[in-house]
Structure 1
Amino acid sequence: MAFDDELNITKVGKHLSEQLEGYNIKNMHDTTDVMEILEKQKLEFQQAYEISGENIQQALGTHNSLRMFFDIHRDTKPRIVTTTTINNQEVAKLLFTVSTNHDNYAENLRFAMLLHERLEEKFPGVSRGVEERDSYFDSTYNQDLFGQSVLIEVGGIENSMEEANRTVEFLAEAIHDILSEPNR
């Protein structure tokens, strides 16, 4: 699913975007092919977050109503770790990752915990929890650019598109619930 043009995690992000639109939540889905840019510019893999960070900064400069940022990935863990059954259907589990080495850490951690807790209330077992991590390649996953930013692992490399899409439907519902709360 990682390098397939038709079946990849970007499509799962698109499905999340569509689900949010269904709840009348305006959103932006960046489909920049960062790997292609890295190859064309002969850059190292660890520079991927520099490229995506430029897109985030541009979005922040253009849209002052942005309230959350999600960096959608899929995990390399085996299916037994990344899959559960909800409503008699197999779904991909979510893992929320928060970078620890920047000023937005506490706000991002609270946000990730809120997402995790809301999902667990409604769909027990769909979340693997919140992981705090010193960032890969000294990157903050661009979470330093904005509070309420989180990296989300949607299942793993052995999960199907259908399983991942079912899961982001749950995630969209949780996001809707959070945004519907007073003072959000």
Structure 2
Amino acid sequence: MFKAIVAIIVIVILGVLGYAAISPDHFRIERTTTIAAPPEKVFPLINDLHQWTAWSPWEKLDPALKRTYSGPKSGVGAVYSWQGNNEVGTGSMEITHSEPASKVEIKLDFQMPFEAHNTAEFILRPQDGGTQVTWAMYGPSPYMHRLMQVFFDMDDMVGSKFDQGLVNLKAAAEK
């Protein structure tokens, strides 16, 4: 009986490790909403990292969040670094591409609670009476990340923050 239990445990562990090994080595998380404001009004809220305090879902998770800005106020080269509690962590982001009223691409570097290097992008598309905004994050998915995804749905965890951020961005842009 003991050998059977050990064999089952070994099979389950090997199954989890094998599943993680064959999972995709890149990820993409994406959410979209429509905002009743023109792209020219939405764009500055994304392209100026100082404006993120008004809508980013991570801002409210740590009232004592330490922020540092460097580079230009907005656009390519603008950098925002943060240091916060366990929910927010430590990291930085830098705007690497900016097309007025249509796209912002950001290099994300997380140091804590885990190290990761990803890309975020915001795509703005004019719609009747407003703007369709797509917020995406993508990057490599190393083996340990894939192993964690067996137990934690990163799309749900990060996607729910994107959903909240888009609700907040919508409220800020529609004022």
TM-score (normalised: structure 1): 0.31
Normalized per residue, which structure has more helix?
A: 1
Normalized per residue, which structure has more strand?
A: 2
Q: Rg larger in 1 or in 2?
A: 2
